[in-house]
Amino acid sequence: MRPALLNPLFASLASLRGIGTKQTRTFARLLKPDHGSSRDDPRVMDLLWHIPTGILDRRRQPVIADLAASGIVTVDVSVTRHIPSTTPRAPYRVECRDETGTLNLIFFNPPIDYLTKALPVGARRYISGEVSWFSGAPQIVHPDYIVAAEDFAQLPLVEPVYPLTFGLYPKILRKAMAAALAIMPDLPEWQDWHWLKQQGWPGAVSALKSLHAPQCEADLDPENPARARLAYDELLAGQLALALMRRHLKKSAGRVIRGTGRLRQAIIAKLPFELTEAQKDAIDDILRDMEARERMGRLLQGDVGSGKTIVALIALAAAVEAGFQGVLMAPTELLARQHFNTLTPYCGAACIGLEILTGRETGKSRRAIVEKITDGRAQIIIGTHALFQNDVVFADPGLIVIDEQHRFGVHQRLALRNKAAGGADMLVMTATPIPRTLQLTLYGDMDISHLREKPGHRPRIETRILAFSRLDDVVQGLARALDDGARAYWVCPLVMASENSDLTAVEARYAALSRHFPGRVGLLHGRMKGAEKDKVMEMFCQGEITILVATTVVEVGVDVPEATIMVIENAERFGLAQLHQLRGRVGRGLLASSCLLLYQGPLGENARKRLKIMRESDDGFVIAEQDLRLRGAGEILGARQSGMPVFRIADPGRAHASLLAAARNDCGLILARDPELVSERGQALRILLYLFERDEAVRTLTAG
Ligand code: ADP
Ligand code: MG
């Protein structure tokens, strides 16, 4: 149970004074916490982790004669007269003076009552806002602050600037932040005080408060003491959580799973190819772990197209040979179906009972499948999140494989592992290579196998970058390729085509391409019904349609070896990891393949670099390292699209890399001295774990 002291921080934002339910929804858009499932109802803590990216400095207080051409100032003036608008379009003007000149305050459609009260003629006022000039005279349009001389203290001379979202005004955000900071409880110190002193770091609460009250640019630096302190807290919480989970996993007795090899032989005999050395090595790692008495926690990392599925199948078959069930979890319905289709002939050949359960199975058929899962007739079970519903009880799962685990996030992964009764072995697979520097923060609790070599003699994918203005050429080129029998994906980002139509970009492109290539184009996006999606995928697999216009639903794992062309529209909007995943949908067979990255200019500096990296490399590891360099870990891991766990404060790939190493050592020392976290510091560390939402890790500890 989370300590009561933290409860106010994990209450809904609506619990804050002055924040209504409607505003909560706007905040939800801004905060988009990615811990576990998405949250429509952000909590106070989600807001507190939203830290400023800039400052507004109102400390400049020139006299009117010294006003510069622009910039934010605070001026001390007397109100001389009000000049109401003469036409509806003209602004309302309030003329002010000091000894050196005249300054106009400009208001469009102002509430007149308010203005006459706030700026009575003859009164002295401090005005703060952005200076501009009109017909040779200085003015401030819609001042940010108007305060009486005696209220000067209320005028914030330095204000934090926060990233905002549509419909959220800075004042509202700052007000909410002030309310959130006001309910921040005192927290016990969980860091070693020698270390704090040596680093010159403040306490956690005062660090958080000072992050929200930057006084100068240097206060925004990730390496400033307040930020570094909290980053270290976060990294330490992460390391502790991983260490505790790992310990728990190792302690919880696994089972010896030693297959006979019979089913595996039947499967291997049916493979149309030889396993690569990399695949064989990975299979050896996995089988060795399964045979061991300890519970397996292994990550299988392999770039897109490296052949992870078959490795998983062999491991699952080994579990079945030993009399257990094997479970394969996929992040999407589409992928679950595809795995089902891939595995069906092999399971048929080996006489393995194969079942699939997703959100789509309902009613009677679902009940029948659940029954087979429970009584053990289902030996290999493929599914989505639907598998983790309460009434799905496995007979005896020996191995759980989670495909494309980056789609699930660390928290879900840990939760899944806890749910797996009886100490099932866990194999997680990912095609998103993790830069070496970050592996430990993410997978410190796992052993890792790599599939470095790609199977077959895969042709390199030729990647070209083209301006969107060349669309006609692209379509003509596509027409020639299709005439030669090619199949193509055309991916569009999820954006509205225009404000007054609800056609999305992908639907518009589908319509346009259908006019060019009647009867040959299919459409695939996330809002379609499952059966419709299947049908389109099936038609594309069979070549009945030859262009598949899609959103990023094709990003993960879709495997159609005959597809050789990937067109990505608005490629500048995608992140590197995603571009690499998308491109990995082609070049999967023997045929030369190409990827066209269409961009809409002008390109920003980073977008240009991203596209260049894509053109120059098709090695997922190289791309991941470059991505880390371009964006920093917080971004990479935090971005929704990658589904990786978010670092709220820490940037372990760049600014806080050395802190990560320190946190790792610290973690080792802490657990050696106080393995159950029962000392005074241990208790405080539990609070730290809850603060960073590592609840599962705390739950592995005995009560105390
Ligand atoms: P990923 O690692 O991206 O999940 P898949 O498991 O989908 O990759 O495999 C990609 C493609 O490579 C599939 O069409 C699969 O049949 C094929 N493949 C897998 N292993 C081999 C191999 N050893 N030799 C040739 N082709 C293989
Ligand atoms: Mg795969």
Residue 704 has pLDDT above 60, yes or no: no
User: Which residue has the CA at smallest separation from atom 9 of ligand 1?
Assistant: 307
At 94 the pLDDT is 97
Tell me the CA–centroid distance for residue 399 and ligand 2, in Å.
17
CA distance 151 to 145: 11
User: Which residue has the CA at smallest separation from atom 27 of ligand 1?
Assistant: 455
At 498 the pLDDT is 53
**H or E segment to which residue 463 belongs:** strand 461-467
Dump pLDDT digits (tens) for 118-166: 999 999 999 999 999 999 999 999 999 999 989 999 899 999 999 888 8
CB proximity list for 70: less than 8 A, separation 6 or greater: 130, 131, 132
430 ligand 1 Cβ < 6 A: no
Residue 325's pLDDT band, with cuts at 50, 70 and 90, is: very high
At 555 the pLDDT is 67
Query: Residue-wise over 250-273: b if at least 16 C-beta within 10 A, else e?
Result: eeeebbebebeeebbebbbeeeee
User: Which residue has the CA at smallest separation from atom 5 of ligand 1?
Assistant: 307
Nearest ligand atom owner, CA of 559: 1
Residue 557's pLDDT band, with cuts at 50, 70 and 90, is: low
Most confident region among 157-171, 309-323, 376-390, 486-500 by mean pLDDT? 309-323
CA distance 213 to 540: 55
CB atoms within 10 A of CB 170: 14
The pairing of beta strand 101-107 with beta strand 547-550: unpaired
CA distance 144 to 158: 13
Residue 639 has pLDDT above 50, yes or no: no
Token pair 């048929």 is found at 348
CB proximity list for 266: less than 8 A, separation 6 or greater: 346, 349, 350, 351
273 ligand 1 Cβ < 6 A: yes
pTM of the model as a whole: 0.65
* CA 90 and chain centroid, separation: 46
User: Which residue has the CA at smallest separation from atom 15 of ligand 1?
Assistant: 307
CA distance 60 to 107: 23
Token pair, residue 329, equals 């979890």
Residue 644's pLDDT band, with cuts at 50, 70 and 90, is: very low
Distances (CA, A) of 323 to 258, 376, 576, 681: 9, 10, 43, 46
Which DSSP symbol is given to 484?
T
User: Rounded mean pLDDT of the chain?
Assistant: 88
Nearest to 240 by CA among 568, 545, 676: 676
Residue 702's pLDDT band, with cuts at 50, 70 and 90, is: confident
At 261 the pLDDT is 95
**For the residues 321-346, what does the mean pLDDT come to?**
93
Nearest ligand atom owner, CA of 343: 1
Dump pLDDT digits (tens) for 598-611: 999 888 888 899 99
Measured from the Cα of 403, ligand 1's closest atom is 4
CA distance 406 to 431: 8
Token pair, residue 70, equals 């622009």
- Give, for ligand 1, the residue of 311, 404, 559, 583 to mutate: max count of ligand atoms closer than 8 Å to Cβ: 559
Strands annotated E in 135-185? 137-141, 145-148, 158-161
At 638 the pLDDT is 42
Residue 408's pLDDT band, with cuts at 50, 70 and 90, is: low
At 42 the pLDDT is 87
Distances (CA, A) of 37 to 149, 157, 428: 50, 39, 19
Residue 87's pLDDT band, with cuts at 50, 70 and 90, is: confident
Tell me the CA–centroid distance for residue 318 and ligand 1, in Å.
19
Dump pLDDT digits (tens) for 383-398: 988 887 888 888 889 9
496 or 370: whose pLDDT is higher? 370
**For the residues 228-257, what does the mean pLDDT come to?**
87
Measured from the Cα of 559, ligand 1's closest atom is 7
At 589 the pLDDT is 79
At 412 the pLDDT is 61
**For the residues 411-419, what does the mean pLDDT come to?**
61
Nearest to 640 by CA among 22, 33, 21, 50: 33
**Which percentage of the chain shows pLDDT scores above 90?**
59
Residue 188's pLDDT band, with cuts at 50, 70 and 90, is: very high
Q: Please state which of the ranges 202-211, 363-372, 558-567, 642-651 shows the lowest mean pLDDT.
A: 642-651
Contact 205, 184 (CB under 8 A): yes
559 ligand 1 Cβ < 6 A: yes
Residue 416 has pLDDT above 90, yes or no: no
At 38 the pLDDT is 46
For residue 496, the SS3 value is strand
589 ligand 1 Cβ < 6 A: no
Most confident region among 369-373, 451-455, 577-581, 638-642 by mean pLDDT? 369-373
Tell me the CA–centroid distance for residue 5 and ligand 1, in Å.
51
Contact 565, 487 (CB under 8 A): yes
Measured from the Cα of 584, ligand 1's closest atom is 3
Nearest to 316 by CA among 421, 398, 377: 398
279 ligand 1 Cβ < 6 A: yes
The runs of H, that is alpha helices, within 19-71 are 21-31, 44-48
At 470 the pLDDT is 94
143 ligand 1 Cβ < 6 A: no
222 ligand 1 Cβ < 6 A: no
* CA 519 and chain centroid, separation: 37
Helix axes 333-349, 530-542, angle to 10 degrees: 60
- Report the half-sphere exposure of 181 (CA within 13 A, side-chain side): 19
Token pair, residue 302, equals 């392999």
700 or 311: whose pLDDT is higher? 311
Tell me the CA–centroid distance for residue 590 and ligand 1, in Å.
12
For residue 213, the SS3 value is coil
Nearest ligand atom owner, CA of 308: 1
| Backbone phi and psi for residue 286, each to the nearest 5 degrees, phi listed first | -65, -45
Token pair, residue 597, equals 């990255």
Dump pLDDT digits (tens) for 676-698: 999 999 999 999 999 998 888 89
Measured from the Cα of 274, ligand 1's closest atom is 23
Tell me the CA–centroid distance for residue 385 and ligand 2, in Å.
17
Residue 447's pLDDT band, with cuts at 50, 70 and 90, is: confident
Token pair, residue 511, equals 């319509």
- Give, for ligand 1, the residue of 309, 332, 581 to mutate: max count of ligand atoms closer than 8 Å to Cβ: 309
At 643 the pLDDT is 38
**For the residues 215-224, what does the mean pLDDT come to?**
91
At 37 the pLDDT is 39
Nearest ligand atom owner, CA of 271: 1
Tell me the CA–centroid distance for residue 279 and ligand 1, in Å.
10
Distances (CA, A) of 676 to 247, 671, 680: 11, 7, 11
At 25 the pLDDT is 84
- Strand order, beta sheet including 354-357: 354-357, 380-383, 325-329, 397-402, 425-430, 297-302, 447-451
**Which percentage of the chain shows pLDDT scores above 70?**
90
**H or E segment to which residue 173 belongs:** helix 170-182
CA distance 332 to 325: 21
Contact 567, 478 (CB under 8 A): yes
Tell me the CA–centroid distance for residue 305 and ligand 1, in Å.
5
**For the residues 188-212, what does the mean pLDDT come to?**
96
At 501 the pLDDT is 52
| Backbone phi and psi for residue 607, each to the nearest 5 degrees, phi listed first | -60, -40
